């Protein structure tokens, strides 16, 4: 039986690839896509999620969620994702959002699902945290939480913090306190998923579908990461999807994870004790990058 999942996202170039991958994964039953402001403002991330859902031809409800973190102000990342969030790649417009805000939709799905639901968080964690904070008993209905979030060493938005963790650290702390199994795809892990021009060309050669073409165009728009030597851009968010469907491509270890909430230069830092303490999470460690890109290309090529 496919695993029921909710994808909470902020598309976002790598979110776009992750969403298409999830839609193309027979192991997953995507019950809803919930959207927050993150890489760009909510109006754009929502429009992008709707457009991607229609492009893939799936009838998954897309719910609008938080346009800002629990505390503080919204800050986007247009340097990486472009002002439109998809690197200037224009998709045909999608349909209308489903009625009801993201946190309400997440709670309703958790309440009504026959099987526990896995939460996949690939943006600021605000929607997921709001859902669990407003009805904590529903945590029992959460099978697992898979996040692209955090770093055990250097951040990407500040020297201390990764973008999703930094965007809403209080929300991440709420998820960690929920007592469910949390898996982290950190910056150290996603650095191994480096989308080089050669790998994107290999994807393109796999088919002629519009989704494959869009994924290639969107990923090719991302500026190469100077932090990682300028050879390509890390494909962060698909790691949080693929670790559910292809766990053998990853190694992981238990860890005790906390997030820094204090104001100042370390806010949003994920302090990951991978060698001691009482574990409250699993941190993905290594990735078979060739296997990762092969599966992604094959899966994207199955979409229209
Ligand atoms: C994360 O932040 C966003 O810019 C990406 O979509 C990804 O979710 C990487 O730090
Ligand atoms: Ca994201």
CA of 184 to the centre of ligand 1 (A): 13
pTM of the model: 0.98
Q: Nearest ligand to the C-alpha of residue 39?
A: 1
Q: Are 115 and 4 in contact (CB under 8 A)?
A: yes
Task: Decide: 149 in ligand 1 pocket, CB within 6 A.
Answer: no
DSSP SS3 for 78: helix
Phi first, then psi: give them for residue 244, nearest 5 degrees.
-80, -40
Query: For the chain, what is the mean pLDDT?
Result: 97
Element (H, E) at 5: strand 3-9
Q: Nearest ligand to the C-alpha of residue 185?
A: 1
Report d(CA 172, CA 167) in Å as an integer.
9
User: What pLDDT is recorded for position 213?
Assistant: 98
What atom of ligand 1 comes closest to residue 10's alpha carbon? 6
User: What pLDDT is recorded for position 179?
Assistant: 96
Domain that holds residue 33: 3-300
User: What pLDDT is recorded for position 276?
Assistant: 87
CATH number reported for the structural domain that contains residue 100 in this entry: 3.90.245.10
Residue 210: band (very low, low, confident or very high) from pLDDT cuts 50, 70, 90? very high
Which residue minimizes the CA distance to atom 4 of ligand 1?
39
Q: Nearest ligand to the C-alpha of residue 234?
A: 1
| Res. 79: pLDDT tops 90 | no
Report d(CA 90, CA 159) in Å as an integer.
33
Task: Decide: 104 in ligand 1 pocket, CB within 6 A.
Answer: no
> Pick the residue with more confidence: 289 or 80?
289
Residue 140: band (very low, low, confident or very high) from pLDDT cuts 50, 70, 90? very high
- The label of the residue with tokens 């990923």 reads 219
User: What pLDDT is recorded for position 80?
Assistant: 87
**Active site (annotated) includes residue 246:** no
Task: Decide: 237 in ligand 1 pocket, CB within 6 A.
Answer: yes
Name the DSSP class of 229: T
Q: Residues 213-254: pLDDT tens digits? A: 999 999 999 999 998 999 999 999 999 999 999 999 999 999
DSSP SS3 for 35: strand
Task: Decide: 12 in ligand 1 pocket, CB within 6 A.
Answer: yes
Task: Tell me how many domains the chain contains.
Answer: 1
| Res. 114: pLDDT tops 90 | yes
Residue 48: band (very low, low, confident or very high) from pLDDT cuts 50, 70, 90? very high
Q: Residues 17-41: pLDDT tens digits? A: 999 999 999 999 999 999 999 999 9
Tell me the average pLDDT across 157-172.
Answer: 98
Q: Which of 73, 68, 117, 94 is nearest to 16 (CA)?
A: 94
| Res. 184: pLDDT tops 90 | yes
| Residue 104 to residues 28, 46, 108, 206, 263, Cα–Cα distance (Å) | 22, 16, 6, 39, 30
Task: Decide: 48 in ligand 1 pocket, CB within 6 A.
Answer: no
User: What pLDDT is recorded for position 55?
Assistant: 98
């Amino acid at each position: 039986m496919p695993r029921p999942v909710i994808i909470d996202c902020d598309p976002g170039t790598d979110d776009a690839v992750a969403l298409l991958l999830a839609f193309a994964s027979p192991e997953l039953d995507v019950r809803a896509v919930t959207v927050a402001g993150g890489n760009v403002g909510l109006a754009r991330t929502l429009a992008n999620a709707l457009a991607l859902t229609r492009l893939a031809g799936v009838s998954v409800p897309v719910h609008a969620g938080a346009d800002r973190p629990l505390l503080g102000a919204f800050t986007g990342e247009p340097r990486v994702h472009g002002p439109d969030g998809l690197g200037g790649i224009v998709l045909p417009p999608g349909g209308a959002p489903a009625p009801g805000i993201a946190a309400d939709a997440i709670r309703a799905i958790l309440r009504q699902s026959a099987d526990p639901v896995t939460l996949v968080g690939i943006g600021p964690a605000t929607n997921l945290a709001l859902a669990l904070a407003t009805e904590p008993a529903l945590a029992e209905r959460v099978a697992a939480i898979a996040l692209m979030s955090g770093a055990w060493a250097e951040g990407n938005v500040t020297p201390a913090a990764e973008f999703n963790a930094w965007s809403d650290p209080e929300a991440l702390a709420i998820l960690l306190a929920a007592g469910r199994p949390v898996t982290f795809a950190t910056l150290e892990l996603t650095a191994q998923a480096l989308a080089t021009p050669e790998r994107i060309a290999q994807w393109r050669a796999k088919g002629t579908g519009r989704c494959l073409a869009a994924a290639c165009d969107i990923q090719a728009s991302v500026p190469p990461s100077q932090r990682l030597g300028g050879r390509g851009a890390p494909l962060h968010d698909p790691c949080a999807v693929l670790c559910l469907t292809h766990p053998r491509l990853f190694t992981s270890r238990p860890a005790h994870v906390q997030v820094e909430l204090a104001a100042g230069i370390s806010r949003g830092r994920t302090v990951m004790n991978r060698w001691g303490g009482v574990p409250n999470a699993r941190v993905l460690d290594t990735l078979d990058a060739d296997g990762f890109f092969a599966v992604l290309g094959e899966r994207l090529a199955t979409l229209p």
